[in-house]
């Protein structure tokens, strides 16, 4: 179960979601030529995963956090601020410099706001970030299927299975209580689904 938490780490969700939508619904990104999709996904990975991960490693090196899993609620603030900053900067880059279009920008800005919301919630409650992140992906894709008739085929069921396994892994590993995981599931899915419905 540990490997599931690593493979579907929250920092990887933007990369997975971008790659999946670029492959299965390229019509959502008319400005992105097919031949540059790998390079673009790499940029998403660097800005939303690699750089935040390096920041978390630095925080661990300087003893601002006790472990990379961020299992202590009171140690989540600094990492979340870094992550929110990188997502906000990425959103600006993709909107102002690359003109990625409304779908991608709605997702990116939506995720940035979600991170800030989770940062606030985590002051009082140790919500499962893994559950929120994976089910947020399900919420975004579900809403795109409803509003824009996006068809990603079996990828959708794989996404649901991955989200379910990731949420279960957090319980199995003892990192969260059921209410913390369910809070992440409901918030992640509902917020992302409504974001697409309202802003697209």
The rounded distance, in Å, linking the Cα atoms of 138 and 144 is 10
Residues near 143 by Cβ (< 8 Å), separated by ≥ 6? 192, 193, 194, 195, 196, 197, 200
Per-residue pLDDT tens for 58-76? 999 998 898 888 888 888 9
Per-residue pLDDT tens for 151-179? 898 999 999 999 999 999 999 999 999 99
Residue 146 in 3-state DSSP? Answer: helix
Per-residue pLDDT tens for 79-103? 999 999 999 998 888 877 677 778 9
């Amino acid at each position: 179960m540990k490997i599931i938490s690593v493979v579907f780490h929250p920092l990887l969700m933007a990369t997975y979601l971008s790659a999946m939508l670029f492959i299965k619904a390229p019509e959502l990104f008319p400005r992105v030529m097919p031949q540059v999709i790998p390079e673009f996904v790499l940029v998403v990975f660097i800005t939303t995963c690699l750089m935040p991960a390096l920041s978390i490693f630095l925080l661990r090196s300087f003893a601002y956090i006790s472990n990379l899993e961020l299992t202590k609620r009171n140690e989540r603030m600094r990492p979340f601020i870094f992550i929110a900053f990188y997502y906000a900067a990425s959103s600006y880059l993709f909107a102002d410099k690359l003109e990625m279009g409304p779908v991608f920008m709605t997702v990116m800005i939506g995720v940035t706001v979600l991170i800030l919301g989770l940062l606030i919630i985590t002051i009082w409650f140790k919500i499962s970030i893994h559950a929120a992140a994976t089910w947020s992906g399900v919420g975004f894709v579900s809403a795109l299927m409803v509003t824009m008739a996006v068809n990603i085929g079996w990828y959708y069921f794989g996404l649901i299975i991955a989200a379910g396994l990731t949420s279960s892994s957090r319980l199995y590993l003892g990192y969260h209580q059921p209410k913390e995981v369910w809070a992440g599931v409901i918030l992640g899915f509902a917020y992302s689904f409504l974001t697409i419905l309202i802003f697209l």
